[in-house]
């Protein structure tokens, strides 16, 4: 995919894999860039957020929308949060898809369901829409090691144009904190969806990547 204009609307989905700091930092960075974010989250993501970050993601999307909008200083209407079964949400239809979608972190179960086209909930349906409408879809699978089943599902999606972006921070930038390593991965995601950022220096620009 060639570079294009920054997306106006990006859908972000949190699923139940480890790696919630990546997802939250991604939402924060998108909002800071002026992008409208449509957020989805699974039930297990609520557990992971609590365990990894002491963050409560209430079951009511409106409460999550209010809390994260305040936390990240989002403009009115810039962050919208949808429920898992909210089938009248705009991203459930190819007539009104976001410009790009990122599942971060992405469980192997979610990845497998997307690869099979199951569309059993709004996260899977939104990803299915992104694929069929030719929109950028980035999956950030957090698992190790990968089984042959995982790899086959990822290969199937990659052949359809889906970006498979495991959260593998590099160390040539000399990270000084966990936050630096999180930013390394989030910077890679933002590059894939053409959102400008200053999370890290690029290779050849005075060192770093």
Per the CB < 8 A criterion, the answer to whether 13 and 104 are in contact is yes
Rounded (5°) CA angle 98-2-180: 75
In this structure, how many other beta carbons lie within 10 angstroms of the beta carbon of residue 124? 24
> Can you tell me whether residue 52 is helix, strand or coil?
helix
Residue 168 annotated as binding site? no
Strand ranges of the sheet holding 100-106, from the earlier edge strand across to the other edge: 79-81, 36-41, 9-14, 100-106, 136-141, 163-164
Residue 159 annotated as binding site? no
Residue 36 annotated as binding site? no
Q: Does 1 score more than 80 pLDDT? A: no
**Distance, CA of 181 to CA of 18 (rounded, Å):** 15
Residue 142 annotated as binding site? yes
Residue 18 annotated as binding site? yes
The model's pLDDT over 100-113, given as tens digits with 9 standing for 90+, comes to: 999 999 999 999 99
Q: Which residues make Cβ contacts (< 8 Å) with residue 25, sequence separation at least 6?
A: 182, 183, 186
The model's pLDDT over 156-181, given as tens digits with 9 standing for 90+, comes to: 999 999 999 999 999 999 999 999 99
Q: What CATH superfamily is the domain 9-192? A: Flavin prenyltransferase-like (3.40.50.1950)
Residue 188 annotated as binding site? yes
Q: Does 5 score more than 60 pLDDT? A: yes
**Distance, CA of 69 to CA of 202 (rounded, Å):** 30
Per DSSP, what are the bridge partners of residue 136? 100
Please state the rounded mean pLDDT for residues 200-208: 72
Least confident of 1-10, 143-152, 188-197: 1-10
Residue 42 annotated as binding site? yes
**Distance, CA of 79 to CA of 3 (rounded, Å):** 25
DSSP assignment of 169-188: --STT---SHHHHHHHHHHH
Q: What is the pLDDT of residue 204?
A: 81
Output DSSP code: residue 94: T
Choose among 107, 109, 106, 89: nearest CA to 98: 89
Residue 110 annotated as binding site? yes
């Amino acid at each position: 995919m060639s570079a294009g204009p920054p997306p106006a609307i990006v859908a972000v989905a949190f699923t139940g894999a480890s790696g919630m700091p990546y997802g939250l930092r991604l939402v924060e960075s998108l909002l800071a860039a002026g992008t409208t974010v449509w957020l989805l989250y699974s039930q297990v993501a609520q557990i992971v957020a609590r365990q990894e970050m002491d963050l409560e993601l209430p079951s009511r999307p409106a409460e999550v929308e209010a809390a994260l909008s305040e936390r990240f200083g989002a403009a009115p209407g810039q962050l919208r949060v949808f429920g898992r079964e909210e089938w009248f949400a705009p991203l459930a239809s190819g007539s009104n898809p976001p410009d790009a979608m990122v599942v971060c972190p992405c469980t192997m179960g979610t990845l497998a369901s997307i690869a099979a086209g199951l569309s059993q909930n709004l996260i899977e349906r939104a990803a299915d829409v992104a694929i069929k409408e030719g929109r950028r879809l980035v999956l950030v699978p957090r698992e190790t090691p990968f089984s042959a089943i995982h790899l086959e599902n990822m290969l199937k999606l990659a052949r359809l144009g889906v970006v498979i972006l495991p959260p593998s921070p590099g160390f040539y930038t000399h990270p000084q904190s966990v936050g630096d390593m999180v930013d390394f991965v989030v910077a890679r995601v933002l590059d894939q969806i053409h959102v400008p950022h200053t999370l890290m220096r690029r290779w050849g620009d005075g060192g770093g990547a």
